[in-house]
Structure 1
Amino acid sequence: MNRQHNYRNLKWLWLSILLMLLDIGSKYWVKTHFLFGEVLALLPGINCYYINNSGLSFGLFGNVNLHYRWIFIWIIILIIITLIIMLCRLIEYSNYYRVSYSMIIGGALGNLFDRILHGTVVDFIDIYIKSWHWPTFNVADIEICIGITLLIMKNYYDFLKSI
């Protein structure tokens, strides 16, 4: 089986590294300027609320033991490697795919960095309406969500075009 690879797409990893550094920098800023649990109102409906998340997205599996946390780390590493391979296999697709994969990889690397170094991920963006709060998240989570949303939108658009 002869699969083509476009290693020129690896140049898009610069975007992943840039987004990872943006995430790491934002977490570092929060850790050096806020006390753990401190809340600062930024805008109506948006707080900066410094917490640590030992689980996966939105705190899922936050109470698992250290053994399972390392399993999560290895799964995340495998996902990142898979996304890099998928990025290499993009031959004639638009930049939507390249940007999407790069955003997801960058966000995953940012959270992976935290998880390996500290065992938890720093979350600090708190969105709320009255007394209802969305689970606290960080810049890496935004990058991953935007990357996935771009992929879904592009695939939906391509699907509609093919009908």
Structure 2
Amino acid sequence: MQHKKYNYKNLKWLWLSILLMLLDMETKYWIKTHFLIGEVSSVLPGINFYYIHNSGLAFGIFADVNLYYHWVFIWITILIIIAFIITLYKMMKYSKCYSISCSMIIGGALGNLLDRVLYGTVVDFIDVYIKSWHWPTFNIADMVICMGTIILIVKHYYDF
């Protein structure tokens, strides 16, 4: 019986996950200590800081669900984090791009998970807009999850 050899060296990229989670938590803490809920401040043309609490998933999807679903979101997030850590561990061929993107997704998921577990909601504060059109408000965790996902998709289809 032949045993598979896994590349545990990819787990070294979890430092990036921790760093991104800490960056997310620090920016949320800064917003909570410098803004009132609902307060808006212009940062750059097309970008505001707008402090809100998001009880739903990414970009406010399912924000009006009951407490039962709150715990479902938490468990789904935990399972996703575990799946990406296992993916990092099981990657046979070392790929820096895959490792970085998986670590970004893990770090962002950890940041939002901590908010959800500790406070019951996620702090969102980045408001991107063009004239009167506003993208749903998000945070650093959402941003790195999206970036990590885009990198995974592009890498998978275009193998750069």
Give TM-score, length-normalised by structure 1: 0.94
Stretches of structure 1 lacking an aligned partner (at least 5 in a row): none
Q: Residue in 2 aligned with 1:107?
A: 108
Aligned residue number for residue 41 of structure 1: 42
Partner of 1:121: 122
Which residues of structure 2 form unaligned runs of 5+?
Answer: none
Tell me, in whole angstroms, the C-alpha distance in 2 between the residues paired with 1:18 and 1:113: 14
Correspondence list, 1:134-145, <5 A: 134-145=135-146
Which residues of 2 match residues 33-72 of structure 1 at below 5 A? 33-72=34-73
- What code does the residue aligned with 2:85 have? I
| Cross-structure match for 1:85 | 86
Q: Which residue is 2:131 aligned to?
A: 130
The AA in structure 2 aligned to 1:41 is S
Q: Which residue of 1 aligns with 2:18?
A: 17
Q: Which amino acid aligns with 1:9?
A: N
Q: CA deviation at 1:138?
A: 0.2
Per-residue CA deviation, residues 11-40 of structure 1 (Å, 9 max, x unaligned), is 110110000000000000000000110000
Which one-letter code corresponds to 1:22 in the other structure?
L
Question: 2-side partners of 1:4 and 1:143: how far apart?
Answer: 30
Equivalent-residue separation in structure 2 for 1:61 and 1:97 (angstroms): 30
Runs (4+) of structure 1 moved beyond 4 Å? none
In 1, Cα distance between equivalents of 2:4 and 2:36: 51
Instruction: Compute the RMSD of aligned alpha carbons.
Output: 1.2
Larger displacement relative to structure 2 (91-100 or 132-141):
91-100
Q: Deviations over 1:125-161 (max 9, x none)?
A: 0000111000000000111011011111111212xx8
TM superposition score normalised by structure 2: 0.96
